[in-house]
Chains A and B, each alone.
Chain A
């Protein structure tokens, strides 16, 4: 139980996948202009990441074993693509408005390096099944949290007096850099 709590805290704050591991920047920059799609994207990525983490662990452990290690990246990508396609079909039917709002960014979750990175990190850290699930869940929660916070900040920045050369993406990048710096403060949190 303690391990799982530790994994959650560490993936959400100390080793945040967006700000500390610098993974998953595409949706971070692309979907964070407004708050609504950012929340939706965070939820979709959480769903995909948790499923993908669990599925990748099972595949790595039982299908690939120790001899077919070279198929790891290939099979992970195949599983992630299938999970994303499943999520897209699910959202199209159940939440059509969210599907329309997210648009092209939904299939782009497949190419989100965080969604491939977390299963690979799971393999590297030799987590077991439940630990992998928690690692995926925690990573995705951290991703969603940062996405929502960043979207809120960008909405505020729209109304702020930003110098002309910095308007738009430039000030967003600067803000992301500052957020990353701030998250370095968490580095001593877990002994």
Chain B
């Protein structure tokens, strides 16, 4: 009986020491701030914040260079989450970087498209399929609605279509009733 206790206790102690040593030897740093900020940003890669993508903006916020209210696709919700993460006061979106628009995707009018590939080069998330002198089309599930393709098109054939909510994408709306002081 005592034998069993000693054996199990000794084994557990030894293994605990091995694991303790391994925990120190193979230590991994926790997720850095930039990754946490980047996880909050909407990954639209539109450049409205003034930086060439969501990751550079996240890095700028982490360095303290950029303010948190420069991302319209993230909306007020995104500003609030960033403020919570960084421990600062949330502020309204900076209108100099754009306004909040309803979620839309780009649609190419196939009657007008000339197959110039300029929109393909402009798209930051590679959502447009096509080749030179072939019909171009936007893959709706990949499009983030950043609108970078619209100024690129020489025949102006791209329009933004708001995404309709259907049974598969419907979500509960956050309550938008502002709480007024009595």
Q: Give A residues with C-beta under 8 Å from B.
A: 59, 63-64, 67-68, 70-71, 74-75, 78-79, 82, 85-86, 89-90, 92-94, 96
Contacts and interface: CB of A to CB of B under 8 A. Distances in A.
Contact of B28 (A59, A67, A85, A96): A96
Interface in B2-26: 3-4, 7-8, 10-12, 15, 18-19, 22-23, 26
B11 A59 contact: yes
- Classify the interface of chain B: helix, strand, loop or mixed: helix
Interface residues of B, number: 15
Contacts of B180: none
Contacts of B3: 67-68
A63 B11 contact: yes
A71 B19 contact: no
Contacts, number: 44
Contacts of B27: 93
Interface of B: 3-4, 7-8, 10-12, 15, 18-19, 22-23, 26-28
A71 B10 CA distance: 13
Contacts of A74: 8
Contact of B4 (A71, A82, A92, A94): A71
A122 to B, nearest CB: 18
A85 B18 CA distance: 10
B15 A78 contact: yes
A11 to B, nearest CB: 27
B14 to A, nearest CB: 9
Nearest to B15: A82
